[in-house]
Amino acid sequence: MLTDSFTLILLSLAISLPPLIFLFLAIINGQFERLDSTAESIFEENELRYARPWENSAQASSRLAKYGVPLNNPLKEWEHWL
């Protein structure tokens, strides 16, 4: 039985050990610092200021407080429906 399962142990280690090593490398490399700015890194300049038509007044106020005066989306995305 052990013979049959030995290969599986190796396979599972081959898959699970590299992520563990990469996890430590990522920690050492500072990848888990500045999480908030990393979360915002996908947005274009001023994108978080674009008004969203589905937001209620509280959500729009929150956007105004966090990101500044709302702007119109230059791509007019919500006037169409990209």
Contacting positions for another protein (CB under 8 A): 1-2, 4-5, 7-8, 11-12, 14-16, 18-20, 22-23, 29-45, 47-48, 50, 52-57, 59, 63, 74-75, 78, 80-82
Q: Rounded to the nearest whole angstrom, what is the least distance from the CB of residue 57 to another protein in the complex?
A: 6
Give the integer Cα–Cα distance in Å for 52 and 37.
21
Q: Rounded to the nearest whole angstrom, what is the least distance from the CB of residue 81 to another protein in the complex?
A: 3
Q: How far is CA 53 from the centre of its chain?
A: 23
Q: Rounded to the nearest whole angstrom, what is the least distance from the CB of residue 69 to another protein in the complex?
A: 15
Q: What angle do CA 62, 76, 81 make, to 5 degrees?
A: 95
Dihedral angle sign, alpha carbons of residues 45, 46, 50, 56: positive
